[in-house]
Structure 1
Amino acid sequence: MFGPAEEDYRVSAPDRVAQPADSPAPPVRYEVGGSGVAVITLNRPERMNGWGGGLASGFFRCMDDAEADPDVRAIVVTGSGRAFCAGADMGDLSTISAATVDAAADTDVGKLVGERHPHFVMTMRKPVIAAINGACAGMGLTLALSCDVRFAAAGAKFTTSFARRGLIAEYGISWMLPRVVGVGVASDLLLSGRVFLAEEAAELGVVNKVLAPDQLLPHALGYADDIAANCAPSSLAVIKQQVYEDTMLSVFEASNRAEKLMHESMTRPDFIEGITSFFEKRPPNFPPLEKEDAS
């Protein structure tokens, strides 16, 4: 059964600094396990991990740390409390019934989403696994879809919600969702804005697997541990690039590009190690991702 011990994970350097007992918890927690898996936890449970209030900038900073750390080979993103991310934290507009159109129009959407859009996650060289522990709505669903693999806790609630709030499909979800589940299902979920549970999300292909709440994070960590231990970081980086960039190409262009990339992969030491470890029936010992691998 997947699931490393909790003590196998260490917090990042900033979180290890002694803080006053009454100091607020960081909006995002960052931990790194000895196996090479980073865990990024959205940590505003009192706001259902709403996207805002320093959470967005903290998330991107932690993702940058994970991307830059050669010891990190896979990333798990989850939430604290009863939500993964219940959407954008609209701040004063939470009392929208008393607000005017002019007040809403003054909202700085750029500041709300942060310095980058969620699809930034797709450009990372390392695999990102979402462990969706609870409510996943609006911006939260967009964030989950930008991850490479998604696991969900049984009973977790999902919704696009935009149409029911007088909004549009935001920050790339109109591109992501049809590619994950198909145009017909995406149209249903986006146009109706209806709530659906994790079990239906798995049937529709929104998530890869549903697990009991107490098994969600151990399973996600075990899945990430397996990738970290057995997959070449250089291969992971190129495969992620292929998966997302090839959607913009024809099958002929994608196949021709793959032939070139395959030849390049066979010139790396990782290929020799992968073949040798297979025949020697031992775990591979792949080197960490280096800066020149980014290209």
Structure 2
Amino acid sequence: MIPAAFDYVAPSTVDEAVRALAEAGEDAKLLAGGQSLLPVLRMRLAAPSTVVDLGRISELRGVSEDGDALVIGAMTTHYEVQRDPLVAEHAALLARATDTVADPQVRHRGTFGGSLAHADPAGDLLAPALALDAEMVVAGPDGRRTVPASEFFTDLFTTAMDAGEILVAVRVPKHTGWRAHYEKFNRVAQAWSMVAVAAAVRADGGNIAEARVGLTNMASVPVRARAVEEALVGRPATAEAVRAAAEHAAEGTSPPTDGNADADYRRHLAKVLTGRAVLAAMAG
């Protein structure tokens, strides 16, 4: 199907993009990698008056260091995140999760910030961003502000950004030396996660000194499995201890029931996958 007619704007700076959004009004849509927006346009599930293309804004691309944090531009592609040496060294969990996103074609076009702003709870990058305590840098008519990941995702496909705001970058605290793994369960390769677990752990000798665990598709927003984290810290990195901690994975969650799985099955998956993810992280 052919999309409905719309005006097209391609600004070259963030300020120009913010102004274009303001001028277009509430019916405008931002175009990043287009992997979520274009199918919706083709099916006429959305008919924006204006599409603001962020592809020409160089400021929004790339990975850099800023003290004890990495700064990832919102328009940095999944492929670039996958292969960036800074991400591999300081935020391995993001690299592991990005490896599982769709297929190579999508990873070359889709963007890190676009995935987060889309806020699909089955998306593979939300839980890792939450687990790593990332912060979203947002630009709007009143300037820039920073929103913690714990406050950024507010509901299904909904974020804390106002209609006239743009996600500019994501600040990720360095987790240098941490081991990480992303365990994903889906029906077929390249499909959305039925449930997935993002795990990052820091070992001290034979014990787990710190742990971060995020859950994908276990609520309308990504969920931090804090009961699991608390149960892991200070414990030996044995299969028995990890699996005992993983039994807490479903606490505080509200998983959906849909055509792929019911809520009880997702709770079971969360426990099993959490154990696998933490053990794989420790082994890595």
**TM-score of the pair, normalised by structure 1:** 0.25
More helix as a share of residues: 1
Give 1 or 2 for the bigger CA radius of gyration. 1
